[in-house]
Amino acid sequence: MKNTFIGSPVERREDLRFLRGRGQYVDDLAPEGLLYAVILRSSVAHGRIVSVDTKAALKIPGVHAVITANDMPGGPPIIPMRLQPLPEFKPFEQPVIASTKVRYVGEPLAVVLAKSVAIGEDALEAIEVEIESLPAVADWHVAAKNKNILFESQGTNRSLVFEARKGDADVIFASAPYVRREKMRTGRHYGLTLEPRGVMAEWDAARGRLTVSGAAKVPFFNRRILAKQINLPEDSIDMVENDVGGGYGARGEFYPEDFLIPFAARHVNRPVKWIEDRRENLMAMNHARETEAELEVACASDGTLLAIRGEIHTDMGAYMRTNGAVGARNVAQFLSGPYRVPHIKIDSSLWMTNKTPVGTYRGPGRFESSFYIERMLDMIAGDLGIDRVELRRRNLVTAAEQPYSIATIQPTNATDQYDSGDYRATLDRVLKEINWPEVSKLQGKLIGEKYHGLGVACFVEGGAAGPKETARLELNDDGTVSVFLGTSSVGQGVETVFAQIAADALEWPMERIRHVHHGSTSYVSDGYGAYHSRSTVMGGSAVLEATNHFQAAIREAGAKRLKCEAAAVKIDPDNVSGPDGQSFPLKELAGLTAEGAFLNKKHTYSYGAHAVHVTVDPKIGRIEIIDYVLVQDVGRAVNPLTLRGQMIGSLVQGLGGAVLEHLQYDEDGQFLTASLADYLLPTASDFPNLRCVILEDYPSPINPLSVKGAGEGGIVAAGGAIANAVANALQSFGVEPRQLPLTPTYIWELVQAGRQKQAAE
């Protein structure tokens, strides 16, 4: 009888280690001779560097060295793009440390190496910096004037325009019976992780080896970058993945510190560790989401979507960094969401400003685009007098239309298509779960001092970025197996999920999968990491391939010892047997190993729907969630327990970005939200009434596990759903939210504007 670990709600193996305080984070490491790095960051948003004088800092007892751009032969290396590495972006890429100019508050200017962090911070105060201030480019509106240029040699603050095209939208708009035009925006926020980033580097001069701890997400890619920057062979660098408190797209990209700390360790021939504080984390880790859109939607009189066109402006911050272009591309390519839109014309401009550079954050571009299309659908339904649920049902892509092609993106000529699914089914299920026919009777009603409202939104979630992932199995001396992965762990529970996959593939008890090792570059020949909801699809499929090769290797070894054909060898968890009854203990083959890889260039698309019931207090603008249901079809759930955690966790993050989180700058480019007292995060009491339902109706056709990436479904549609619910609650005031976050102040202002308009009429 075959195992059935896949599909079972197995409790996470990782949890016991973490709950006992036995996780190992970068800051837990303290080798002998360790020096602590503290980074001097620019307090000026835009300016030319006149001088950085470190003499006084070097005189402080306990300060070992101070590193600036002048200590780097040939000048500071440049951080290359990881995704969309287009030649147009090269002039806008970031040096690892500022040498001639600063472009955002928080940009590194110098690195102090000291016996303690406290001594290092004292030394920062002694460094004398002279910067000639330049006018700040505070937002994309200022950037578009090209009056003050961040990169003078380019003559423009726009690094690129992504063009999303499908059909001929202009022709359709010329004769469309109905058109709705709107201007909307999403606020700047980011994937704040439980513990800040950290890097520790150790240089072994005798062996010529560099060990970098704190690798996360994409260690193999980061090793390739670092090897070129520091002029070492790739195989002389070990990137070691430690435990982390979440990744969310931001952690693990190549940041300035990922060069500065290894460089410092080699420079002084001592171990060096850097742990950012929360202020640094807020101002230096990749930001995301800040976009503004001017859109038009054309419909037939019955609400059938005909075309979408418009412009989207994305605030990229000061530099193009590793994966920073993804959000700006996705907001254009996925603006149609799960809906059938035959004609699309969207231009997405990438504007450079004097802010922290942007990167990806869980559901990059799709959170923003979902808010735009879902808000417009509710407005269109109101204009045409069509029920908003029915309007969505009419336009959702059906199973018969799959695979369904979406807009092509230029200049990369990137094409894509949804792989499978019946998008109406998840909408119907979410309405059933929230009891829509009954609770919809409360829409817009004032009960006590609060108005009740309902919101609904549908979504697709892309996953399984290729082109490859690698895994390896090794037999231990006690007959158990260790699994080694090219993908990384950033909190998804991969140690459990991959053990389930390996145990089922081997048809062994799960306890025989002793260890699952992930992410470090010494484990497998190559790896691509954790991003784009790819780990289970790509890594899990690689485990299946590795398992096949592992079993084949056991049969080959068994055939030699048992003097028979490999096909006649039988394997069980304890023994290797031949056709004549001879056998030997499996553990005698300890050390046997086999690697496998899964290659794939197609994406998976899970899909689903959100429905939410809220109350809004118009006097103070406070939103309270009465009930929130998320339904998602994931193709196949390897572990429903961990998947539910991913779904609810991503939903909480989506709601945080929709109603609380907002990174703010003033007109001089000064960062205003440098603490958690200013940058508000969801707590356990903010969103208690969240539910999710997992469906497995449409397995993915593009991988042997039939799974689809599903770690972002909760976050993608949260902004649209909650904004629609607020509009529904406050419909008597004519409230139509057009921006996120939905702060109490913003909601109160909308209510006041509605009252004033009603009074004037």
pLDDT tens-place string over residues 489-547 = 998 899 999 999 999 999 999 999 999 998 789 999 999 999 999 999 999 999 999 99
* 1 pLDDT more than 50: no
Q: Which helix (H) or strand (E) holds 654?
A: helix 640-659
Same domain flag for 130 and 141: no
CA distance 758 to 761: 5
Report yes or no on 377 lying in a domain.
Answer: no
Instruction: Give me the mean pLDDT over the 280-304 stretch.
Output: 98
Percent with pLDDT over 90 in the chain: 97
Question: How many CB atoms are closer than 10 A to CB 747?
Answer: 23
**Phi, then psi, of 291 in degrees rounded to 5:** -135, 160
Same domain flag for 273 and 308: no
pLDDT at 215: 92
Question: How many CB atoms are closer than 10 A to CB 759?
Answer: 7
Per DSSP (E only), the strands in 62-157 are 63-67, 101-102, 108-114, 128-133
Residue 312, classified by CB atoms within 10 Å of its CB into exposed (0-12), middle (13-18) or buried (19+), is: buried
Among 15-24, 58-67, 333-342, which stretch is predicted with the lowest mean pLDDT?
A: 15-24
pLDDT in tens, 571-592: 999 999 999 989 999 999 999 9
Same domain flag for 328 and 449: no
pLDDT at 3: 76
pLDDT in tens, 344-377: 999 999 999 999 999 999 999 999 999 999 999 9
* 227 pLDDT more than 80: yes
pLDDT at 316: 98
**Phi, then psi, of 130 in degrees rounded to 5:** -120, 120
pLDDT at 622: 96
CA distance 582 to 653: 58
Average pLDDT of the chain? 96
CA distance 134 to 148: 8
CA distance 59 to 53: 12
Closest to 109 in 3D by CA, of 90, 130, 92:
130
Q: How many residues does the chain have?
A: 761
Q: At what angle do helices 494-506 and 540-562 cross, to 10 degrees?
A: 40
Same domain flag for 643 and 540: no
pLDDT in tens, 194-222: 899 999 999 999 999 999 999 999 999 99
pLDDT at 761: 80
Report yes or no on 5 lying in a domain.
Answer: no
> Confidence class of residue 245 from pLDDT cuts 50, 70 and 90?
confident
Whole-number Cα distances in Å, 175 to 178, 300, 307, 345, 457? 9, 10, 11, 16, 28
* 720 pLDDT more than 90: yes
Same domain flag for 593 and 611: no
Q: Give the chain's domain count.
A: 4
Report yes or no on 323 lying in a domain.
Answer: yes
Which range of residues forms the domain containing residue 173? 137-190+287-362+382-410
Same domain flag for 127 and 273: yes
Same domain flag for 259 and 216: yes
Which residues on adjacent β-strands are paired with residue 611?
456, 629
Which residues on adjacent β-strands are paired with residue 616?
451, 623
Using the 3D structure, point to which of 599, 622, 641 is the last residue of a domain.
599
Q: Please give the angle made by the CA atoms of 470, 192 and 290, to the nearest 5 degrees.
A: 100
Same domain flag for 186 and 200: no
Same domain flag for 478 and 576: yes
Q: What is the CATH number of the domain that holds 302?
A: 3.30.365.10
Same domain flag for 386 and 448: no
Report yes or no on 482 lying in a domain.
Answer: yes
Using the 3D structure, point to which of 599, 630, 645 is the last residue of a domain.
599
Same domain flag for 543 and 402: no
Report yes or no on 158 lying in a domain.
Answer: yes
Q: Which residues contact 72 (CB under 8 A, 6 or more apart)?
A: 97, 263
Report yes or no on 2 lying in a domain.
Answer: no
Report yes or no on 682 lying in a domain.
Answer: yes
Report yes or no on 710 lying in a domain.
Answer: yes
**Phi, then psi, of 473 in degrees rounded to 5:** -115, 145
Residue pair 384/348 in contact by the 8 Å Cβ criterion = no
Residue pair 673/663 in contact by the 8 Å Cβ criterion = yes
Closest to 382 in 3D by CA, of 716, 752, 724:
724
Using the 3D structure, point to which of 284, 306, 330 is the last residue of a domain.
284
Q: pTM of whole model > 0.95?
A: yes
Same domain flag for 716 and 694: yes
